[in-house]
Structure 1
Amino acid sequence: MIYPARRSILIAAALAPISLAIGVAVPQYWFAGLALLLLLLLLCGVDALAAATADAVGAQWSGPRAIGVGEPFAIAVEVRAPVTGPPSIEVAIDNSPLLAGTDGHRRSVTMIEGIGDASFEFVPERRGQAELSQLWMRWRGPLGLVWRQKEALLAAHILITPDIRPVRQKSAQLLHRDAMHGMAAQLQVGEGSEFEALTEYKPGMDRRSIDWKQSARHTNLMAKEYRTERNNNIVLAIDAGRAMGDPIAGVPRVDRAISAGLLTAFVALKEGDRVSFFGFDSRPRVATNPVAGGRSFALLQQVAARIDYSSNETNYTLALSTLAARLQRRSLIIIFTDFPDTISAELMLAALKPLLSRHLVLFVSMHDEELEALASAEPTQPQDVVRSVTAAGLLRQRMLVLTRLRRLGAHVIETQHDTAGSAVMENYLRLKRRGSL
């Protein structure tokens, strides 16, 4: 495609009044103004012929084939042209609704010996398959009067997966043998629920571990050592309803929950426990059988990626009753959800009561940063007061629901989105050390 550049348009705009002035001042030479415009057209044609052809300009891209949601990444584009070609080429890249460009989608590439590089930064906002199909390049001729443009097929397919950066960042710490409970039984004195051995009591040990009968028999203080029980059942229940689609710091709540759940699943598999996923909105969507072993983490990643976004309201009664019917043994159920109103909260509390009678429930709630900002903002206008009072009322209702959950016997975690994974992991390990599972 060839079209005029800004320079030729400005020259044509400048020639128009000159041609009019010639026609008025010297009517017999009116054609001189037309000759100037024809000369400009001729120069544009020469400039187009002298510019590099579309076949001589090409581009290649490089970038990740898979990336976690919310994880910034870059697409690098290498542009090639003849050595005697244009000194600079403008490059524009296609966009995907799953990606957000952090610094625009157009770059001006300086060509050095016929090669130039451009980088486009993106942030994945949703899981799925992002497609960047087209790439546009344009360059001016030697006179700068016309643009030549080429449209190239980019065909960049990027799989946006659940974010496992917390797992990667904490893997060294979590895989340290002294950090994994049950792998060093002698460090678990006074913790856990399974009897390990009798040992001589030493200062610093828990006095409640003293076995007085055995101490009398051996005429020496003897203490019981326990080790943390393995093969527990852990269920990660992810709410994918409408309320969980709201973004926190640019990433939907459900993706924040999935990332925190995967970190907990990684730790639980290394601890020797069995983990399963359960995704739901208006009805159960994803349900897996418990899996064990570190190699099963890849399977859990694939299952978590299948938890899709939904615009349906969450049906807690159907989801939690279905989950209760699936569980054949006592389990730790970690529920990631958010309740937008008190009616949903009442339904959730009613559905949780049967689970609490048999299972251990850990409820995870992420702070609503938008409501907290509205409630704490200094009002400058009358409508700011209304927003602040409304936000404070919603936060108060939220706190009352969490208090009722605690009174029912559920363990509740209130945390920021960026520390949710660590908070859930630490609470899981604490419950495991206490033998509550």
Structure 2
Amino acid sequence: MPVPTRRTLLLFTAGMLLALGPSLGLSWLWAAWLAYCAALIVLVGVDMLHAPPRSKLRVELDAPETLYIGEPAAARLELNFGRPIPTPVRVLLDLPGLFEPAPAYEGECPPAGLEVRFDLHAKRRGNATIESVWVRYPGPLGLIAWNVRREVERRIAVAPNILPARRMALRCAQDRHFYAGLKIERYRGDGSEFDSLRDFTVGDELRTVHWRATGRHRRVLSQQFRAERNHQVVVALDAGRLMSEPFVGDVPRLDRAVAAALVLGFVSLKSGDRCGLFAFADRVRAWRKPVSGMAGFRALQQQTALIDYSRAETNFTLGLTSLTRKLSRRSLVVVLTDFVDSIAAELMVENLGRLARKHVVVFVTLRDPLLAAWAHAVPQDVLSLNRAITAASFQRERQTVLRRLERMGLHTIDAEPDRIGPEIINRYLDIKRREQI
């Protein structure tokens, strides 16, 4: 429907000044005021008649069918009125609640049409529909503006972020040295599984000499070993209330953990191990038995897409006890979770200790960058001083819990959200090289 613009309101306000004339004894201004109003109404009517008709507006939206959480994507919108628009148009994409609001576009519309690019930033996983586009354009005189809504009905699936795993796959495919180091060379000489024979060199231990092969080939040959493969790796994801909350300006913690879990799944499957997935909150939310081979990565990806956000508190006793019952052999268990203080973490620590008696446990928490910034900021007033003291107190309690877990035999990782993936991979490779599983 048409609405008056700011220019119309200013002209109407100027006409009201003429209406004050008769009250000051200038009765002849009545005729001037009536003529002014009539002229303004005529101009508004002319502006409405010469504005581009709404029926001529054509809108096409090109948006990706799948968008990965934490990764921006672009939506391209094409507008065409069939004729030039002399004044700026304003375009707004009506985004659902899963996305951050996109700023409106305002600019000229050329005769050939207008192409607008909107950046899409998903806040949470799920399925969403971009239902409509709002276009506001004025008439040639700028007195009347039309607000037009066009339905586009574009469905978008916001999926777990597998792009870090894809980048890892491309690195493996393009960098032969990285691929070799990941599968064999990184562990060669440190393990107990026979790999190959090579000529004995100065510095090799005598226990590595293969005497039977030496006699057969009539030269001293040394055995080369590598770390054992076909281990069982299980990623345990906390999907409770705290993990469903985002950091300031970031995606939910759970989605950061899912992205790191997929990277670990890819690397472990690529290196010959088996990888499984377990998710829990107030109850068990997902369980995927360890799979092997790169074909199993697809199964892990599909399983992570089914893990929903939860408002319930995490039951570590139920979750970790259920996981222990599901594991029939010694495994590397990577627990991705978070906690606020040592009191809330008491049950978590107790159940992690039980799990570590039978398995190798890597405890991973996501460090809040804002909390660290507050703790190290120079106080400027009383409020910032109290904030710094509170943040430092939380950090000390966090370190106390981590040191306690390390004394219980667990491996701990406390890193910022964008660093947990590389930190987990480095710790996994180190554990594998040392054959601690």
Report the TM-score, using the length of structure 1 for normalisation.
Answer: 0.91
1:324 positional shift? 0.5
Contact kept? 1:366, 1:417, Cα under 8 Å: yes
- Percentage identity across aligned positions? 35
For residue 140 of structure 1, what is the aligned residue in structure 2?
Answer: 138
For residue 432 of structure 2, what is the aligned residue in structure 1?
Answer: 432
Partner-residue secondary structure (3-state), 2:334: strand
Residues of 1 paired with 2:268 and 2:298: CA distance? 14
1:226 positional shift? 1.7
Contact kept? 2:208, 2:224, Cα under 8 Å: no
For residue 222 of structure 2, what is the aligned residue in structure 1?
Answer: 223
Q: For the aligned residues, what is the CA RMSD?
A: 2.6
User: Structure 1, unaligned stretches of length 5 or more?
Assistant: none
Cα deviation 1:305-335 (Å, max 9, x = unaligned): 2222222211111100000101111111111
Contact kept? 1:94, 1:105, Cα under 8 Å: no
* 2:355 is aligned with 1:355: yes
Cα deviation 1:46-102 (Å, max 9, x = unaligned): 21011111001121111222111111222221110122444432211113222113x
Structure 1 range deviating more: 174-183 or 113-122? 174-183
1:194 positional shift? 1.6
The alignment of Structure 1 onto Structure 2 pairs a total of residues equal to: 434
Partner-residue secondary structure (3-state), 1:314: coil
Cα gap change, 1:25/1:204 in structure 2, threshold over 3 Å: closer, same or farther? farther
Partner-residue secondary structure (3-state), 2:344: helix
Cα gap change, 1:100/1:208 in structure 2, threshold over 3 Å: closer, same or farther? farther
Contact kept? 1:209, 1:225, Cα under 8 Å: no
Contact kept? 1:210, 1:221, Cα under 8 Å: no
Structure 1 range deviating more: 341-350 or 209-218? 209-218
Counting only pairs closer than 5 Å after superposition, residues 10-409 of structure 1 correspond to structure 2 as 10-21=10-21, 24-27=24-27, 30-101=30-101, 104-175=102-173, 176-180=175-179, 188-203=187-202, 205=204, 207=205, 210-211=208-209, 222-248=221-247, 249-409=249-409
Contact kept? 2:84, 2:109, Cα under 8 Å: no
Cα deviation 1:135-161 (Å, max 9, x = unaligned): 111211122111122110021222111
Partner-residue secondary structure (3-state), 1:342: coil
1:411 positional shift? 1.3
Partner-residue secondary structure (3-state), 1:264: helix
1:390 positional shift? 2.4
Residues of 2 paired with 1:145 and 1:383: CA distance? 50
- The one-letter code of the counterpart of 2:122 is P
- The one-letter code of the counterpart of 2:59 is A
Cα gap change, 1:350/1:144 in structure 2, threshold over 3 Å: closer, same or farther? same
Contact kept? 1:54, 1:149, Cα under 8 Å: no
Contact kept? 2:183, 2:271, Cα under 8 Å: no
Residues of 1 paired with 2:68 and 2:310: CA distance? 19
Residues of 2 paired with 1:34 and 1:252: CA distance? 62
Contact kept? 1:88, 1:108, Cα under 8 Å: yes
Residues of 2 paired with 1:313 and 1:285: CA distance? 13
- The one-letter code of the counterpart of 1:70 is G
- The one-letter code of the counterpart of 2:435 is G
Contact kept? 2:286, 2:307, Cα under 8 Å: yes
Contact kept? 1:2, 1:149, Cα under 8 Å: yes
Contact kept? 1:180, 1:271, Cα under 8 Å: no
1:371 positional shift? 2.3
Residues of 1 paired with 2:274 and 2:179: CA distance? 15
Contact kept? 1:181, 1:188, Cα under 8 Å: no
Cα gap change, 1:114/1:16 in structure 2, threshold over 3 Å: closer, same or farther? farther
- The one-letter code of the counterpart of 2:226 is R
Partner-residue secondary structure (3-state), 2:313: coil
- The one-letter code of the counterpart of 1:54 is R
User: Structure 2, unaligned stretches of length 5 or more?
Assistant: none
Contact kept? 1:332, 1:361, Cα under 8 Å: yes
Contact kept? 2:87, 2:138, Cα under 8 Å: no
Residues of 1 paired with 2:66 and 2:203: CA distance? 50
Contact kept? 1:181, 1:271, Cα under 8 Å: no
- The one-letter code of the counterpart of 2:192 is S
Partner-residue secondary structure (3-state), 1:174: helix
Cα gap change, 1:365/1:203 in structure 2, threshold over 3 Å: closer, same or farther? farther
Residues of 2 paired with 1:199 and 1:130: CA distance? 59
Cα gap change, 1:183/1:347 in structure 2, threshold over 3 Å: closer, same or farther? closer
